[in-house]
Amino acid sequence: MNIAIITGASSGMGKEFARQLTEKVLGLDEVWLIARRSERLASLAKELPVDVRTFSMDLTDDADYEPLTELLAKEQPKIRVMINCAGYGKTGPFETIPEADTLGMVDLNCRALTKMTYLVLPYMPKRSYLIQFASIAGILPQPNFAVYAASKAYVLSLTRALREELRSRQIFVTAICPGPVDTAFFSIAEETGSPFGLKKYFMARKEKVVAKALHDAMRKKDVSVYGLSMKLLRLLVKYVPQKWILFIYARLLRGVK
């Protein structure tokens, strides 16, 4: 049985990945959707043109992995596509963000992604795809977005290393590194502080970001970056010392009200 697994599938980018993946990737017998909100997963499952199984899981709770772990061991599916999309961010000065929110970012963005990757790799055959959701924030430290950016730097680094480790198994690994995307992400992020105001001018549509991500992943690219502005930022970080960029960034940040 050939399957795809998507975490964070109840909303935003994960939901859009589920929609586009089932339209564009042929040969999947089932898609397994993972998120906390079971009612949203059930609603999404009715929209998709393939058989779907839903798993209501809190990926930061080890106990919630047990049913999925047992099912994988029992059914031994071939995981053709794995998309680790679950994650969230909180903005604001480090000291002002509640400790639970800060540690929650690390748990979900880093630990849960790592745990899911461990869980699925034994079931991924040759010519399968591992897609890890990082962020353009992962290429540069970001004041007032410090932990989120650091967590995505971890994802980006892990993904690029796994790409080389898994090359001999012909498992193709891609890091998705979007800039700001027009989803509910920022409404959640803003609960603890206002984001860097200029980001609103670079918002991308999730449909376009996901289409580019799947296009790049299926063509075995190591990193997918959507939009000219984000590509220019990536280029800038390669050639300009980070301390200079952070110096300017911090002053712009203080100037945005």
What is the C-alpha separation between 86 and 162, in angstroms, rounded?
Answer: 19
Burial class (CB in 10 A: 0-12, 13-18, 19+), 42: middle
> Which of these is catalytic: 65, 123, 148, 226?
148
- Concerning whether 152 is annotated as a catalytic residue, the answer is yes
- Concerning whether 148 is annotated as a catalytic residue, the answer is yes
Strand order in the sheet with 30-35: 51-56, 30-35, 2-7, 78-84, 128-133, 171-176, 223-224
Altogether, the residues listed in the chain come to a count of: 257
> Which of these is catalytic: 90, 152, 206, 249?
152
CB crowding 52-89: b at 16 or more within 10 Å, else e = bebbbbebbeeebbeebeeebeeeebebbbbbbbbbbb
What is the C-alpha separation between 27 and 46, in angstroms, rounded?
Answer: 19
Catalytic residues: 148, 152
